[in-house]
Structures are given as structure tokens and as C-alpha cells.
Structure 1
Amino acid sequence: MASSRDRQRKLARAKLDRQLARRAAAAKRRRQIQAGVGAAVVLVLIAAGSAWALGAFDSKPGQKAAEDVCVWTPQDAGANTNLKDVGRPATTGLPTAGTRPMTVTTNQGAPITAELDLASAPCAAASIAHLAGRSFYDNTTCHEITSEGALRCGDPSGTGIGGPTYSFYNENVPTPAPSPSASGAPKPAPAYPKGTVAMIGNPPGTNGSQFLLFFKDFDPAEPKYPVIGTVTGGLDVLEKIGAQPTVDNGSGAKVKPKTDVVIQSLTVGEVQNAPATSAPAASPSPSAG
């Protein structure tokens, strides 16, 4: 009987050893699989990170995603009923080199033409082109002849606080001129020479649609208007407008031209003097925005 029990114990022991061995082997296989999966995940993450850094997930193979050129800050038309909603310009793909021609046709004679500087003021040019393409400026009145020697235009409400339902920051404000030198050095050019085109915001720095056309030199101690371009034609018409008397604008300020200066149309053309790849189409046709 003893020998029979010994044999049974040996058989049971052997069976248990086999079970333990199988369990150990299975556990080892699981560890190997987990280790392999973990390594594969790490490799995938490394590869994905490298691909992302190299631009593999960008919209166009081999190129980085387009970056915002301009930021348009929404304005509340409910709080300011003088604002007009015609949508907002694009933020990417805007030209930042060359010029764009702007033509302002008024009821005062030949058109006033200008070049918008895309390198120094790409957002102002984009905004004016966007608004022009939606007839924002058409049949509006230039409501002020400023004491600084400029014609102020671009507010459909004629109040000085109107514009689109967005704003953008200053881009190209001139630096103050240095103090005159005792050595007799020539006087520097004014911050705003005659023929300058500049934006004007209310308050300053919140530009929208309003702009200034300077018909004489203006050289303040602290410039505040961002320069966006230069008049190229019709300066004599602008000077004639600037020479006319002013009357009360209805709020007690004697700044309104005695004879209404009406912008019959304002258009912005295609990019010039820049690589063709940076030139978008001319102002889009009018739409609802």
C-alpha cells in the first residue's frame, strides 16, 4: 500500500509540476507579448512625432500648415448700431509683399488712386480689399476734413464710430522724428507727407474701415495713425477738397466738408510687384458676406 501511495504522490507531484511549468510558460509569453506591444507603441509614437515635426500631417504634403497673417477682433453690432456686418476677411493666405492699387472715385472730379503697401500693412490692405469687394464704401460720404490736413473717409454712418463688425491692430505707425540737431543736419521728412494714406480707429488701435487721405504734410510729435499706402494720382483733386470750407457736422464740430464728398465707388486691384504665388485675385464681387 505504501508503494502505491508513493507512486500516486509522485504522479500528483509530476502533474503539479507540469501545470506550474505550463503556467510559467504562459506568463512568460504574456510578458513577451506585452513588452513587444509596448515597444511597438513607443516606436509608433516616435515615428508619429517625427512625422508631425516634419509636416507630414499638414494640409499639403511637404508644407507646413498656413499660419495666420491677421487677427480680426469681433465687434458687437448690438452695442454699436453704426457697425455693418459684411463678414470678415481671411486670416491665412494673405499677400505680404508688393502693392495693390486702390481707386477712390468721388463726385469731386477725377478718381484718387493709391498704392496699398502689402509688406508694411498687409492686414489693412486685406481689410480694405474685403470691404471693397462687398461694396462697403460705395455711396458713402467722407465726413470730415481734419485739422491735421487729411480727408477722413470710410464710415458709412458718417458718425466717426461706424465700420465693419471687426477690428484689427495698428501695423505701421511712424516712429517719432528725432530732435533737431544743432549741427545743422537737414530736417527729417514728416511722419505723414502729403499723399499719405493711413488708417484711423476709434479708439486708436482699433482699426476697421476708416482711412485718412493727407492733402498736406503732417508731422506730430507722437504719430498714432498706421500708414498703409501712398496716393499715386488725383492729388490735385484731394487738395481741392481739402481747401473747401467746413460746416457743423451736427454734433457741434465744424469739420464736415461744406460740399458733400461722396465716394461713388472704391475698388482694390490685384497684387503688383510681387511673386505671382503671393497674389490673390482682385476684390471679390459683391456678396452678402
Structure 2
Amino acid sequence: MPSNEQRRAAAKRKLERQLANRASRARKQKQMTIAASALGVVVVIAAGVGLYLWNRGDDNASTTATSETPDASLSSAAPLPVAKAKPATVSCDYRNAQSPAAKPVEKPGAADISTTTNPKATLETNQGAIGVTLNAAESPCTANSFVSLAKQNFFASTQCHRMTTGAGLQVLQCGDPSATGMGGPGYQFDNEYPSDQYDAADPAAQMPVGYKRGVLAMANAGPDQTDGRGTNGSQFFLVYGDSQLPPQYTIFGTIDEGGLATLDKIAKAGVAGGAPDGKPAQDVTIQSVRID
């Protein structure tokens, strides 16, 4: 029977082969024009086991776009890991980002952040309300940042700038006052659940897991190029259809049934120009975010 180390090595070799094959196909598809390119939005719908990587999604990230049809291996995405228990309060590290805030805002408080409360929030949009419950037990620093930004009206009158409709990635992305996919709050912070359940050196940290319908998660720009730490800011995505992503995107809440109905209506209208990824065909404006 192969050891864990041998199984991990085999998985890594398989992933490398798949990445090479996908990269070759992506080069051939480079002439395709999609709506996301007009927006300058990053989408690397990459390779390896049909993953869609949300790199460069926040804080002045520069990106390119390719697309491909996911293969059958998408159905083999692993379940999310069980979260490890946290103390009743934690300290958070909100550090300056390289780019200034897209809208004036103060950093959140960083000391004695509770992991025992789960605030509810309502995103009032021109398409309908989207209710969410934040999960401070698993991602306290992310939930704390979202609440702080909402109370400072950071999200008010902002456009949800990106939607994806392909099999394996069905999300609406919001939280950028500039509506370019490049704006943030002027600070950044580390990934939390499920990223913090993995050893970064473990190949499993790069393999897809299931981001199920109803998940609220953070977009990010991948590891910071200077210190390798997280680049979460203000951009987040709402999952309206089961999706597969590597566990590098912090899950910090769930969407209620009414919110999912609103998202379904938005998704039904599709993406501008009929592309699988880009600006929603119907404008989606967050008018306000209320913390209940």
C-alpha cells in the first residue's frame, strides 16, 4: 500500500501534467475576446483539474483572461475540511496595502475580535435583497473587516463588477468601489478558513475543494509578492452554483434563501455580451449593507 507521501507525490505529478496540457490549450485560445478583457479583470480559469483561479482579484491586481471547458474531474473536488476550534477572541493584522483605498475608510479594530458572534447582514441591491450570516467562528478577522466596511458605508452605491456562469464556477463578485476589479480598502489581511487548515507545502492546498451554493467568500490577489502573506481586502464573491476552487479563498459566511433567489435572477440574465465571465448583463448595484 502506498504511503501518504507517495500518494501526495503521485497527485502532484498528475497535477503538473494537467497544468501543462491546459496551458497548451489556453495558448491556442488566446485570440478569444471576452467581456472580462474589456474590463481589465483578472480571470485565470486555469488548468489543473479544471480549476478557476481567482488570482489578482483585489487591490490593483493586473490580470489576463483565458477560458476552457472544465473536464469531468471537477466532480471529484474534495469536501471542505473541518475547521479547527479557535479561542473566544483573536487578534487580527490589518496592514497597509500597496495601493490606496478606492474609497476613504478606516482600518477595523484588530484586538479582542470575537469568534462567538455571527452577525447577520443584508445587502440591499437594485435587483433585490441578499441576506447573509457571517461566520466569525471560522473567519473572525474577515467577518470583522466586512462589518467595519459596511458600517462605514464602503459598499454603498458600488457595482458588482463581475459574474461567472461556466460549469465549475458560478459566482457574483462585488466589493470594489471602482468597479474595475482592482480596487480595495487600502489595507489587506491574511486568509482564514479553509486556507488555515492546510500546510502550504501540502499539494492538497492546491487541489480543488467544493465551494457550495450559498457560500460567501473573499476574492484576493494571491500571495503578496513581498512577504507571501494574504491579500484580502474588500472584494468578495457570492456563490450561486456549486463551484470548485483551491482552498485559497476565505469563506466567511452563508447566503440565505431570499438572497439566493436574488442571485438566481441576476444569473439568469447572464453576462454582458453572452460571455461566460464578465460584467453582469443587468447592472447590480449594492445600495447599502445593513448589519442586523
Q: TM-score, normalised by structure 2?
A: 0.58
The answer to whether 1:126 aligns with 2:148 is: no
What's the offset of the Cα at 1:93?
Answer: 2.4
Q: Which residue of 1 aligns with 2:102?
A: 83
Q: Secondary structure at the match of 1:83?
A: coil
Q: Secondary structure at the match of 1:84?
A: coil
Q: What is the match of residue 265 of structure 1?
A: 288
> Hey, what's the Cα distance between the residues in 2 that align with 1:121 and 1:82?
23
Cα gap change, 1:84 to 1:203, in 2 (>3 Å): farther
The correspondence of residues 1-289 of structure 1 with structure 2, limited to 5 A, is 69-76=91-98, 80=99, 83-109=102-128, 111-146=129-164, 147=166, 148-173=169-194, 191-203=210-222, 205-220=230-245, 222-232=246-256, 233-247=258-272, 254-269=277-292
Aligned partners of 1:94, 1:215: CA distance in 2, in Å?
A: 29
- Report the Cα offset of residue 102 of structure 1: 1.1
Structure 1: 4+ residue segments shifted above 4 A = none
Task: Tell me how far apart the structure 1 counterparts of residues 113 and 100 of structure 2 sit (CA, whole Å).
Answer: 29
CA distance in 1, matches of 2:110, 2:134: 18
TM-score (norm 1): 0.59
8 Å Cα contact 1:82/1:157 also seen in 2: no
Letter of the structure 1 residue corresponding to residue 146 of structure 2 = I
Q: Partners in 1 of 2:211 and 2:119 — Cα distance?
A: 20
Q: What residue is the counterpart of 2:28 in the other structure?
A: none
Given the superposition, is the C-alpha separation of residues 169 and 81 from structure 1 closer, same or farther in structure 2, using an over 3 Å criterion? closer
In the TM superposition, residue 264 of structure 1 has moved relative to its aligned partner by: 0.6
Give 1:202 shift: 2.0
Tell whether the 8 Å contact from 1:128 to 1:268 is kept in structure 2 after alignment.
no
Aligned residues: 184
Q: Contact 2:90 / 2:114 at 8 angstroms: preserved in 1? A: no
Q: What's the CA shift for 1:224?
A: 2.2
Map Cα deviations across residues 68-97 of structure 1 (whole Å, 9 max, x no partner). Answer: 610001124xxx356333110111122111
Which amino acid in the other structure matches residue 144 of structure 2? A
Please report how far the alpha carbon of residue 239 of structure 1 lies from its aligned counterpart in structure 2 after TM superposition.
1.2
CA distance in 1, matches of 2:262, 2:277: 22
- Alpha-carbon distance in structure 1 between the residues aligned to 2:272 and 2:188: 29
Q: Please, what is the CA RMSD of the aligned residues?
A: 2.6
Separation (CA, whole Å) in 2 of partners of 1:71 and 1:171: 12
- Secondary structure of 2:92's match? coil
Q: 1:86 to 1:193 in 2, by over 3 A?
A: same
Unaligned runs of at least 5 residues, structure 1: 1-66, 177-189, 270-289
Task: Provide the secondary structure at the position in 2 that maps to 1:102.
Answer: strand
- Per-residue CA deviation, residues 174-203 of structure 1 (Å, 9 max, x unaligned), is 679xxxxxxxxxxxxx62110100011123
Q: Distance in 1 between matches of 2:92 and 2:101?
A: 24
